[in-house]
Structure 1
Amino acid sequence: MTIADVAAAPRRRPGADVPPERVPSIRRYAMTAPTFFTVEYAINPWMDTSVTVDTHLAFNQWETLRQTYKELGHAVELIEPIVGLPDMVYAANGGMMVNGKAVTARFTYPQRAGESAAYAEWMTRHGYRPADTRHTNEGQGDLLVVGSIVLAGYGFRTQRQAHDEIAAILQMPVVSLELVDPRFYHLDTALAVLDATTIAYYPPAFSDPSRTKLLELFPDAIEVGSADAYVLGLNAVSDGLNVVLPAAATGFAEQLRTAGFRPIGIDLSELLKGGGSVKCCTLEVHP
């Protein structure tokens, strides 16, 4: 499916009473426990070094997320956390794996640079040959697969020039989207992939041209309001039916139900102190 195919795909008629039937599929995820999680520096607007972090609570919340995936039938593999890398729990930023190919993250901030080698080593052990980019890219934080295209964010962390490199490495069409609100510093904080043709997003997080692009590609996308966006409600993971999302995003959960999805709220409030939630903690290994 190309970008043109996505735009031409059949859409649910706006206002239709009966939502389409949603079908889940088994997914493969990689996660890193928050063993060393803390907020010892501030590299996004969510982080405040004066706020105390309860590591035990963070681990319990993370474990609830992991168990939820397992109860849904998904495969969850664990990546060993490394002392001195407190943000390694946000596994989604570690890179991208799809179509048998892998891209290693190149982080913007030196505090997270050590994570690249750790995730690249894990990819290599699992049979990938991860490729590097010359420009910064922060993995699935800014690279989201929708069907057979990649939506790619830029503006705060991933550089726009990296999108061309990633398209060449993955041999997939890449759609560039500009983020303009620093609170939504990664694409996965402002946009959620729900299935191969369906997304949800927070329009004010994007530039005008990028909003236009999203409307053209996904005219029936779910537009989420500020109250849900400001609790990182869009930092969600979907298997095509079940959508695991922050428990505080109650409005978005109702929108999902109306659209035929099954929302599952998870409290990751402790990990939100570092600027991440469900999707940030989940590196999906795409087929």
Structure 2
Amino acid sequence: MRTARTRHYLMCRPTYFDVVYSINPWMDPSKPVDTRLAISQWENLREVYLGLGHTVDTIDPVPGLPDMVFAANGATVIDGRALVARFRDAQRVAEGPAYHDWLRDNGFTDLRTAGAVNEGEGDYLLAGDWLLAGQGFRSDPRSHEEAQEFFGRPVVGLTLVDPHYYHLDTALTVLDERTIAYYPAAFSPGSAAVLRRLFPDAVLATAEDAAVFGLNAASDGRNVVLPDNATGLKDQLRARGFHPVGVDLSELLKAGGSVKCCTLELRGAAT
């Protein structure tokens, strides 16, 4: 039996969501974006979390920051300590101070803005005692040492090789403390070997499910919220005793984001 554990999430309403620049292969400014639909899909995701018993806080969106909806990129919060992101791309740099100020104003006094480029939980995923850390497209490998020193947890560096899976959370999801799901082809051979060694019982996603961002998911240990059209992955999760909860975030996928991208987990009480 899988056991659900209530989570504390931070989200940002996509009031100003749009695709007006391109910093990943999913973004095409020539394609129209329906901001009202994006808001409706986001509201549904928030309601799903609340229905599962989770706590959801929200940060006010900032005009001129269309990607701020992707709250997972804003910071990494573990044991009440917050390492605020330092973004690679100029279009998103101002998001870091916005998340820093929210965390400070909401009681997270043990916080630091990263010195090396890292994009929060986009590239940092906590799996038991391990902090899995992506590199290759966004986060600087030097950020891994910084995170290990700040959080006091062992960091496992993983190299991404497919630009469509530019953040770790697009190619891997943590299902519980001992179980992950991932798309092997998104990783370098050495990193894929590390994942096989650390997680021999992992769920392996197909190319089809990875391509609809099925791995950009959020799990509470039992309930796994993920894109509804990742049908094969949902079947695999059911077979492992998880309860998949499908949602439609197709409008946000136009910017290269989905469930996890919209969801920053606040682990540990603010101090």
Structure 2 counterpart of 1:73, one-letter code: G
Superposition misfits of 4+ residues, deviation over 2 angstroms: none
Structure 2 counterpart of 1:67, one-letter code: E
| Aligned twin of 1:250 | 231
| Aligned twin of 1:88 | 68
| Aligned twin of 2:199 | 218
CA distance in 1, matches of 2:193, 2:165: 18
Identify which of 41, 45, 56 aligns with 1:61.
Answer: 41
| Aligned twin of 1:48 | 28
Unaligned runs of 5+ in 1: 1-20
Normalising by the residue count of structure 2, what TM-score does the alignment of the two structures yield? 0.98
CA distance in 1, matches of 2:161, 2:267: 28
Structure 1 counterpart of 2:114, one-letter code: T
Contact 2:100 2:113 in 1 (8 A): no
**SS of residue paired to 1:69:** helix
Deviations 1:85-123 (A, max 9, x none): 000000000011111211010000000000000000011
| Aligned twin of 1:283 | 264
1:68 Cα shift? Answer: 0.1
Structure 1 counterpart of 2:63, one-letter code: V
**SS of residue paired to 1:131:** strand
Q: Does 1:178 align with 2:167?
A: no
1:148 Cα shift? Answer: 2.0
Structure 1 counterpart of 2:77, one-letter code: M
| Aligned twin of 2:169 | 188
Structure 2 counterpart of 1:200, one-letter code: A
CA distance in 2, matches of 1:125, 1:170: 21
| Aligned twin of 1:118 | 98
Q: Does 1:237 align with 2:218?
A: yes
**After the TM superposition, which of the residue ranges 252-261 and 119-128 deviates more from structure 2?**
119-128
The 5 A counterparts of 1:193-204 are: 193-204=174-185
1:134 Cα shift? Answer: 2.0
CA distance in 2, matches of 1:134, 1:122: 19
Contact 2:26 2:254 in 1 (8 A): yes
Q: How many aligned positions are there?
A: 267
| Aligned twin of 1:259 | 240
Deviations 1:47-101 (A, max 9, x none): 0000100010000000000000000000000000000000000000001111121
Report the identity percentage.
55
Q: Does 1:26 align with 2:6?
A: yes
CA distance in 2, matches of 1:124, 1:284: 16
Structure 2 counterpart of 1:78, one-letter code: T
1:247 Cα shift? Answer: 0.8
Unaligned runs of 5+ in 2: none
CA distance in 1, matches of 2:115, 2:252: 30
**SS of residue paired to 2:6:** coil
CA distance in 2, matches of 1:62, 1:28: 17
**SS of residue paired to 1:88:** coil
Structure 2 counterpart of 1:100, one-letter code: G
Identify which of 158, 164, 167 aligns with 2:145.
Answer: 164
Normalising by the residue count of structure 1, what TM-score does the alignment of the two structures yield? 0.92
Structure 1 counterpart of 2:56, one-letter code: V
**After the TM superposition, which of the residue ranges 64-73 and 117-126 deviates more from structure 2?**
117-126
| Aligned twin of 1:102 | 82
CA distance in 1, matches of 2:152, 2:61: 31
1:133 Cα shift? Answer: 2.2
Contact 2:10 2:263 in 1 (8 A): yes
Superposed CA RMSD: 0.6
CA distance in 2, matches of 1:113, 1:164: 22
Deviations 1:8-52 (A, max 9, x none): xxxxxxxxxxxxx10000000000000000000000000000010
